[in-house]
Amino acid sequence: MGDSPTQPADPVVLTVCTTCRRAGADPEATRPGRILTERLAERLAAAALPDGVTVRGVECLSACSRGCTLHLSGGPDRWSYIYGDLDPDTHLDDIVAGTSAYAATTDGFVPWRERPVVFRKQSIARIPPVHLPGVDLSADPAAKD
Protein backbone atom coordinates (compact mmCIF):
# COMPACT_ATOMS: atom_id res chain seq x y z
CA MET A 1 0.00 0.00 0.00
CA GLY A 2 1.01 3.59 -0.45
CA ASP A 3 2.20 3.20 -4.05
CA SER A 4 1.71 6.66 -5.51
CA PRO A 5 3.18 7.09 -9.01
CA THR A 6 2.16 10.23 -10.85
CA GLN A 7 0.14 8.50 -13.60
CA PRO A 8 -2.85 6.61 -12.19
CA ALA A 9 -4.34 4.02 -14.54
CA ASP A 10 -8.05 4.56 -13.98
CA PRO A 11 -10.24 7.65 -13.69
CA VAL A 12 -11.56 8.70 -10.29
CA VAL A 13 -15.30 8.91 -9.68
CA LEU A 14 -16.73 11.01 -6.87
CA THR A 15 -20.31 9.79 -6.35
CA VAL A 16 -22.46 11.93 -4.07
CA CYS A 17 -25.82 10.97 -2.61
CA THR A 18 -28.25 13.65 -3.81
CA THR A 19 -31.06 12.60 -1.47
CA CYS A 20 -29.00 12.94 1.71
CA ARG A 21 -30.33 15.35 4.28
CA ARG A 22 -28.65 16.23 7.56
CA ALA A 23 -30.61 15.83 10.79
CA GLY A 24 -32.82 18.82 11.46
CA ALA A 25 -32.65 20.10 7.87
CA ASP A 26 -35.73 21.78 6.41
CA PRO A 27 -37.55 19.04 4.46
CA GLU A 28 -38.69 21.60 1.87
CA ALA A 29 -35.23 23.04 1.20
CA THR A 30 -32.83 21.81 -1.46
CA ARG A 31 -31.19 18.72 -0.05
CA PRO A 32 -27.60 19.20 1.10
CA GLY A 33 -26.51 16.21 -1.00
CA ARG A 34 -27.74 17.96 -4.14
CA ILE A 35 -25.97 21.17 -3.06
CA LEU A 36 -22.73 19.24 -2.46
CA THR A 37 -22.97 17.57 -5.88
CA GLU A 38 -23.49 20.92 -7.60
CA ARG A 39 -20.62 22.60 -5.76
CA LEU A 40 -18.22 19.75 -6.53
CA ALA A 41 -19.26 19.89 -10.20
CA GLU A 42 -18.52 23.63 -10.17
CA ARG A 43 -15.07 22.93 -8.71
CA LEU A 44 -14.46 20.33 -11.41
CA ALA A 45 -15.49 22.82 -14.12
CA ALA A 46 -13.13 25.40 -12.60
CA ALA A 47 -10.26 22.88 -12.74
CA ALA A 48 -9.98 22.72 -8.95
CA LEU A 49 -10.13 18.92 -9.21
CA PRO A 50 -7.50 16.94 -11.15
CA ASP A 51 -7.99 15.72 -14.71
CA GLY A 52 -9.67 12.34 -14.81
CA VAL A 53 -12.04 13.05 -11.91
CA THR A 54 -15.76 12.75 -12.55
CA VAL A 55 -18.48 14.02 -10.21
CA ARG A 56 -21.87 12.37 -10.33
CA GLY A 57 -24.95 12.26 -8.17
CA VAL A 58 -27.01 9.22 -7.27
CA GLU A 59 -30.31 9.03 -5.45
CA CYS A 60 -29.16 6.92 -2.51
CA LEU A 61 -25.97 5.50 -1.04
CA SER A 62 -27.99 3.90 1.79
CA ALA A 63 -26.15 5.72 4.57
CA CYS A 64 -29.08 7.94 5.47
CA SER A 65 -28.14 8.43 9.10
CA ARG A 66 -24.73 9.78 7.98
CA GLY A 67 -25.79 12.33 5.33
CA CYS A 68 -24.28 13.90 3.31
CA THR A 69 -22.38 10.90 1.99
CA LEU A 70 -20.06 10.30 -0.92
CA HIS A 71 -18.23 7.36 -2.47
CA LEU A 72 -14.70 7.88 -3.81
CA SER A 73 -13.57 5.22 -6.29
CA GLY A 74 -10.95 4.75 -8.95
CA GLY A 75 -11.20 1.47 -10.80
CA PRO A 76 -10.58 -2.19 -9.97
CA ASP A 77 -7.04 -1.68 -8.64
CA ARG A 78 -7.77 1.06 -6.10
CA TRP A 79 -9.24 0.99 -2.63
CA SER A 80 -12.47 3.00 -2.49
CA TYR A 81 -14.03 4.89 0.40
CA ILE A 82 -17.40 6.02 1.69
CA TYR A 83 -17.45 9.21 3.74
CA GLY A 84 -20.37 10.63 5.69
CA ASP A 85 -21.55 13.51 7.86
CA LEU A 86 -20.33 15.93 5.21
CA ASP A 87 -21.46 19.54 5.06
CA PRO A 88 -21.44 21.34 1.69
CA ASP A 89 -20.81 24.65 3.47
CA THR A 90 -17.77 23.63 5.53
CA HIS A 91 -16.19 20.52 3.97
CA LEU A 92 -15.91 21.38 0.28
CA ASP A 93 -12.21 22.35 0.35
CA ASP A 94 -11.31 19.21 2.32
CA ILE A 95 -13.26 17.00 -0.10
CA VAL A 96 -11.41 18.55 -3.04
CA ALA A 97 -8.04 18.10 -1.27
CA GLY A 98 -8.81 14.50 -0.33
CA THR A 99 -10.02 13.66 -3.81
CA SER A 100 -6.90 15.22 -5.33
CA ALA A 101 -4.64 13.17 -3.05
CA TYR A 102 -6.59 10.01 -3.89
CA ALA A 103 -6.40 10.73 -7.64
CA ALA A 104 -2.59 10.93 -7.39
CA THR A 105 -2.40 7.27 -6.26
CA THR A 106 -2.58 4.06 -8.25
CA ASP A 107 -3.84 1.97 -5.33
CA GLY A 108 -6.22 4.45 -3.66
CA PHE A 109 -4.28 4.41 -0.43
CA VAL A 110 -3.50 7.88 0.91
CA PRO A 111 -1.57 7.63 4.20
CA TRP A 112 -3.81 8.52 7.13
CA ARG A 113 -1.85 11.59 8.22
CA GLU A 114 -1.87 12.97 4.67
CA ARG A 115 -5.68 12.89 4.42
CA PRO A 116 -7.77 15.94 5.27
CA VAL A 117 -9.25 15.67 8.78
CA VAL A 118 -12.75 15.14 7.39
CA PHE A 119 -11.50 12.07 5.48
CA ARG A 120 -9.79 10.76 8.63
CA LYS A 121 -12.69 11.27 11.02
CA GLN A 122 -15.74 10.70 8.84
CA SER A 123 -14.89 7.53 6.98
CA ILE A 124 -17.75 5.03 6.95
CA ALA A 125 -15.98 2.30 4.98
CA ARG A 126 -12.80 1.47 3.13
CA ILE A 127 -13.58 -1.05 0.40
CA PRO A 128 -10.85 -3.29 -1.02
CA PRO A 129 -10.09 -3.20 -4.72
CA VAL A 130 -11.51 -5.87 -6.99
CA HIS A 131 -7.95 -6.87 -7.83
CA LEU A 132 -6.51 -7.13 -4.34
CA PRO A 133 -2.72 -7.66 -4.65
CA GLY A 134 -1.48 -10.89 -3.13
CA VAL A 135 -4.90 -12.55 -2.99
CA ASP A 136 -5.65 -15.36 -5.41
CA LEU A 137 -9.41 -15.85 -5.28
CA SER A 138 -9.18 -18.81 -7.63
CA ALA A 139 -7.05 -20.83 -5.21
CA ASP A 140 -8.79 -23.52 -3.16
CA PRO A 141 -8.42 -22.45 0.49
CA ALA A 142 -8.81 -26.09 1.59
CA ALA A 143 -5.89 -27.25 -0.56
CA LYS A 144 -2.63 -27.75 1.30
CA ASP A 145 0.85 -27.63 -0.24
The more confidently predicted of residues 47 and 4 is 47
Is pLDDT at 143 greater than 60 in this prediction?
no
Burial string for 2-33 (b: 16+ CB within 10 Å, else e) reads: eebeeebeeebbbbbbbbbbeeeeeeeeebbb
Domain topology for 12-127? Glutaredoxin (3.40.30)
Domain boundaries, the chain: 12-127
Percent of the chain with pLDDT over 90: 41
Q: What does the pLDDT look like over 22-78, one tens digit per residue?
A: 777 788 888 888 888 888 888 888 877 788 888 899 998 888 888 889 999 999 999
pLDDT at 2 over 60: no
